[in-house]
A and B are shown apart, each in its own frame.
Chain A
Amino acid sequence: MTNRTHQSDPTPDTEPQTLKLSGVAFQWDSSKAPLRYPDVTLQAGSHLFLQGPSGSGKSTLMSLLGGLITPSEGRLEVLGTSLASLSSGQRDRFRADHIGVIFQQFNLVPYLSPMDNVRLPCRLSRKRLQRAKPDATTEARSLLTALGIPEDSWHRSVLQLSVGQQQRVAAARALIGGPELILADEPTSALDTNNRDRFIALLLELAAKQRCSVVFVSHDQSLANQFDQQLHLQESTR
C-alpha cells in the first residue's frame, strides 16, 4: 500500500495535537494482510481530508479514530490520549466526550425528534452537557438555526426531513457541546452539489468557531482544497 500525505504549515504547538498516528496498522482478519496507515499529525483546529477508493481502509481508520477498535500495531493518539491504553468502556466515554460523528446517511435515531437527536450527545456525556452554551437546548436551537433547519420541524419526526436536512441535523449533533474532533464519513455523498457545498461550508465554519478539527472522508477530490491537510489512501495490493 502506498500513501501520499499533503501537509500544510503546522500551527504552533500550544495544545496537544488532535491526531497523531505513527506506524498504525490494523488487521481485521489474520488471513489478510494488515491495513497500514501513514503517519499523520493533525493540529487542533485544522481539518483533514481523507480520500481513497473503497477497500483502502477509510472506514477502518474512522473506527480507529473513534476508538471503536484499537490498532494492532503502532501508536494512535487522539487529543494526546493513546486510545489503546483505555478500556473499551473508557473509549466509549472518550468518544462521547470529545468526538462528533456524521455518517453517509440515515444519521438520525428514527424515534427521536431532530431536537432530541441534536441534544443526544449532551445526554450521553456530562462534558458535552457542561460545554454546551448556555445549555443543551439553547445551543441545539442556535445550531439548528445556523444550519438552516426550519423551526417547525424541530419537534416533528426526523423521517419528514429531506436528506440534506437530515445531514445538517447530524452536523448539529456532531457539533453540540464543542467536541475537539468531528469524524465525517462521506457525509455529502447522498447530497446534490448545491447541498454538498452548503453543507461543507457550514460544517467548516461552525467547526472553526469551536476550534474543532474535522476529519472528512470523501471520494470527491474536488472538495480537497477546502481542507488544511489531505491524506490519500490507496487500495492495498493484496
Chain B
Amino acid sequence: MTTQRRIFAAICRQHIRLSWRNGQTVLAVSFLFIAITLLPFGLGPELKLLRALAPGLLWVVLAISLLTSLERLFQADYEDGALDRLLLVPLSFEAVVLAKLLGHYVALVLPLIAAVPLAGLLLNIEAARLPILVAAMLCGAPALVMAGGIGAALAVSVRRGGLLTVLIAMPFYVPVLIFGAAAARAGLQGGVDVAVDVGAYLGVLAALSAASLLLAPFAIAAALRAALR
C-alpha cells in the first residue's frame, strides 16, 4: 500500500469511526424515521394517498436527513485544529476532502438508504418500486453529499451555520430530486419503454453525481482553505 493510499484510507476510516461513535449515524437514521412518522399526521392516514406520494416523500426526507447530517461535516475538524493537521499530510487537500466525503457516504448515506425500504413500508409503498427507488438513491446521493459538502465548507467558520448550509445546498438538490423522483415514478408503470426511461434517469443521476465528484472537491478544498486563513 502506498503512503498516499494509506493516508486516504486512514482519513476515511477515521471519519466513519467518529460518525458512529458520536452517534451521528444513529441520529440521522432516527431523524429519517421521525420525519416519516410525522408525515401521516400532516397528510392523514389514508394509505392510498401515502402510497401515491411515497417515492417523492422518501426522496425529500432522505435529502433533508442528509442535509442535517452534513451540517457538522467539517466544523468539528475546523474548530479543533484537525483541518490544520490534514493540510500538512503528503496528500493533496482535494484528496483529503474526497476521503472525508467518501467516509460520510459510507457512514451516513448508506445507512440512510438502507433505512428507506423500511420507511417505505410505513408509507405503504409497493415492494416492486423499492429496487428502483433504492438504485436511484444510490446513484443520486453522491451529488447530494457533494452539494451539501460545498454548503458545509462555505459555512464552516459560521457558528450556527446549519441553516446557512441548507440555504446554500438546496438549489443544488433540485436537479437530483427531479430526476430521482422521476426514476421512482417511472418504475411504477412497468413495460419496456419504462425500463428505458428508468435507465435514462439513473444515467442522468449518475452523471450529476460524477460531475459533482469532479468539481465539488476543488470547491470544498478552496472554501476550507479560505476559512483557515
A and B are interacting partners: no
